[in-house]
Chains A and B, each alone.
Chain A
């Protein structure tokens, strides 16, 4: 597609439940990035992929968070045993290359609310 698609738009989970978010990058883009935005600011980089391979995971919390990009499937970000502080908007972005000069195109985000 011509836009990055993210589903669901909103997700509500009770503490301790699992949350799974999906991202379909723009067709032909090899790189996918996940960012977490807490309280309408403070974007935090989580992880990036080159096709199905993890490219940079320096921002991923060591526990509870995992992500995958499998061939012919949307990428996913999964949070096991959600906590209140996981409440945020999770943005996915895609880019045709890894060159820092290339624009990353952002999806509309998934708002996760943990109660």
Chain B
């Protein structure tokens, strides 16, 4: 069955710390990978996406993610977090030629201490 796992439920960091949020997926065939962010009281926004090519993907607000096919992983990273990065982060996958529904991970809550 298709699934996305985010093992960190809640991460607490200080400003300027480096961030890495884990994401593993289980999906047969070609996958498209996404990271979405949900700031408090706001709707989902796309941070970055991977379809093919360079496995290191750069997104908005200084975020990047690396697709490692052998590990079925797509971890999100940021070298130096800010208080404004406090949000819920969702890893997601779509795949196949016509199955365009998004399968989301359970989310990681990121809290940044000022």
Contacts and interface: CB of A to CB of B under 8 A. Distances in A.
A100 B99 contact: yes
A85 interface: no
B88 A109 contact: no
A22 interface: no
B100 A99 contact: yes
A42 B106 contact: yes
Given A106-B43, A108-B42, A109-B43, A43 B101 contact: no
B98 to A, nearest CB: 6
Interface in B83-114: 88, 90, 94-104, 106-107
Contacts, number: 61
Interface of A: 31, 33, 35, 40-43, 45, 48, 56, 58-59, 91, 93, 95, 98-104, 106-109
Interface residues of B, number: 24
A66 to B, nearest CB: 18
A41 B91 CA distance: 11
Contacts of B98: 98, 100
Interface stretch (B14-22, B44-52, B63-71, B73-81): B44-52
Contacts of B90: 41, 43
8 contacts: A31-B100, A41-B90, A45-B103, A95-B100, A100-B98, A102-B100, A103-B46, A106-B36
